[in-house]
Amino acid sequence: MSDRYVAWIRDKLTEHAPETTPDPAAATQLAHAWAALTGHGTQIFGMEMPAELGDREALREECLAVLRRWIAVLDHEHKDSLRQMMTAYSAQHVAR
C-alpha cells in the first residue's frame, strides 16, 4: 500500500506543477502537501496522511522543487500569499 500511496502522491505533485496547470491554487495545494509531508498536516491532496510513509523525505523535497518552479510564474499577490503560508509552516517546523 505504501508504494501505491507514494506513487499517487508523485502523480499529484505532477498534476499540480505549473507546467501542467495554470491555476495558482495548485501552488497553495502544494504548500499544504509540503506541510503534511513535514508532519504539520493530517491530509495530503484530500487524503489522510499515513503515519508511516516510505520516501517521505524525498517526496518533501520533490514537493518543494515544484513549489520553487511556481515562484517563477506566480504574480506578486500569489507569491506573497504562498510566502506567508510557507513561513508559517516553517515556523511550526522550527518550533517543534
18-57 pLDDT, tens digit per residue, is 999 999 999 999 999 999 999 888 899 999 988 888 899 9
Number of neighbours of residue 42 by Cβ within 10 angstroms? 10
| Contact of 87 with 34, CB cutoff 8 Å | no
Q: Which of these, 40, 36, 59, 45, lies nearest to 16 by C-alpha position?
A: 45
Phi-psi region of 55 (alpha: psi -120 to 50; beta: other; left: phi over 0): left
Q: Tell me what percent of the residues of the chain surpass a pLDDT of 70.
A: 94
Q: Which residue has the cell 502522491?
A: 9
Whether the model pTM is above 0.85: yes
